[in-house]
Structure 1
């Protein structure tokens, strides 16, 4: 029996590629992939058991954090059980047989931003239109007039029968996106793990965040990410998303989390999971 895995769709997105990559590396049984139109719905579907796992983007090396993913996971009952990092190559695509006189370029806002220098240089004055995903942009071009173009992946171009006018148009060659895999249960230790957590300080006072970070430093636990997000309750109040090396069952990290629980107004473990390229199959 196959394992149901949801991903941020539609078909042809970079998230679909990440989901296939993770499933091939991490699942012992074959995966059946299902596209979902938005991040909150995908997380909801995993929490309700419609999918065993879900795959969604969380940060890009050029454009930074996908805030909707972070904000949704902070308040969700799902936990992070894995991650996958993929290289992102953007292409400019046209309908087959179309002229190269481009009037409008469609894509996801992050893709347009990642290709800003190229588009500004080669297509100054051309209208750039934001759509829900790179795959949706490819679909629109396939169904639209010859003057439409899209920024999308090679996979999306092939899926929708489009010609590639230019490949590798992203502003930085080392363009990578990190995707999170969510499920309902904490993953077991793999020996090469990462833990994500959210912490809120009891009050906004000098040195509060320093005391939190000092606990990790004293235990010689490396932090791989720290980011503040508004609580959405009061201006100037923030939660802190922290990624650190190690699993919550590791003695060192377990002691740090126990100590932090006495200092924090909120401490939520979002997941302990194998770092990209590590861990046994599920």
Structure 2
């Protein structure tokens, strides 16, 4: 209804890096923010219509693509990425008050966080058992439960600051101090965000058949039009062994002739191609476009071809009524 606040879902619980990403969206602080238990639940809330958009992680600078998101957005009712957000990542090790570092035997966190802290763990708590958690915040909050079966958790500093029942055992435990996670805000299909000159387009392309050169045909649709790829990852479709789709980020916007032409080429060779959106880059880095793949170059080439076809058509019409010479 008019005037109602927007509703945003995010990978919860509260205090996750995903919520931190959502709070970078201009109207998020005035919106209704609803934590979801997993990526599928967050995206399904958008598909079902009770959330206007959902914020989920898609890529980490250390571990690469977040497979849960890549898979969930590639199937089911189509969704659109409308924004991306970058969040610097730092981790702390927390436990209940009174627990010392030397007491820790089992540690819980999200898989990506564990991967980014393995070296620190090996140096400081060698032999500690990893207990998978649905998110860093969920692992930390689990320590507050009576029947918690692990000793410590790896989480964001924000979670430790907001919960008095958590004691910080160590700070800045990430192996890569420059780690960044990329998050995407996903909504239902609608009008594309305006072209800015610093944009990104995301597509999912099923491999049409497993044969030599099949992937090259997909990549050629971009290369021949001067479209740079900033990410490409293969994921199994789950249908049968050897059946894959490719999740691709391309520099540019669907409103650009070269990108639109590449999308058309992808659809010709793989009709199951899924367009996931064109949206501004979070880093604002402008895309360098070679002169021969600019919109002006595409327009000039199209006009040239049309001039040839027009001349041919006119010649055909003028000759159609002429009588053959005796």
Give the TM-score of the pair, scaled to structure 1.
0.90
Point out where structure 2 has 5 or more consecutive residues left out of the alignment. Answer: 286-326
The aligned residue for residue 39 of structure 1 is 39
Question: Would the aligned equivalents of 1:200 and 1:238 in 2 still touch at CA under 8 Å?
Answer: yes
Counterpart of 1:165 in structure 2 is 169
SS of alignment partner, residue 13 of structure 2: coil
Alignment of 1:260-275 (within 5 A): 260-275=266-281
Q: What residue number does 1:250 align with?
A: 256
More strand by share: 1
**2:172 equivalent to 1:181:** no
Q: In 2, distance between residues paired with 1:59 and 1:115?
A: 17
Q: What is the aligned counterpart of 1:4 among 3, 7, 20?
A: 7
Secondary structure at the aligned position of 1:166 is classed as: strand
Residues 187 and 272 of structure 1 are in contact (CA less than 8 Å); yes or no, is this contact kept in structure 2? yes
Deviations 1:23-74, CA, capped at 9 Å, x for gaps: 23xx498222110101111111101211111001111112222111111101
C-alpha contact (below 8 Å) 1:7/1:36 kept by paired residues:
yes
Cα distance between partner residues in 2 of 1:258 and 1:109: 37
By relative contact order (CA 8 Å, sep 6+), the higher-ranking structure is 1
**Which residue number in structure 2 is paired with residue 155 of structure 1?**
158
Is the counterpart of residue 104 in structure 1 residue 109 in structure 2?
no
* Structure 1 residue ranges without an equivalent (≥5): none
| Corresponding residue pairs, total | 276
Displacement of 1:108 after TM fit?
1.6
Query: In 1, Cα distance between the equivalents of 2:33 and 2:214?
Result: 43
CA distance in 2, matches of 1:56, 1:254: 26
Note the 1:165-244 alignment, pairs <5 A.
165-184=169-188, 185-191=190-196, 192-244=198-250
- Once the two structures are superposed, what CA deviation does each residue of 1:95-153 show, in whole Å capped at 9, x if it has no partner? 235444323322122212211111111111333322221111211223458x8221101
Larger radius of gyration: 2
Partner of 1:132: 134
1:136 is paired with a residue of what secondary structure?
A: helix
Cα displacement (A) at 1:12: 1.2
Q: The residue matched to 2:276 in structure 1 has which SS?
A: strand
What is the aligned-residue RMSD (CA, Å)? 2.2
In structure 1, the residue matched to 2:85 is 84
SS at match of 1:12: coil
- After superposition, the C-alpha distances for 1:61-92 in whole angstroms (9 at most, x for unaligned) are 12222111111101132211111111110101
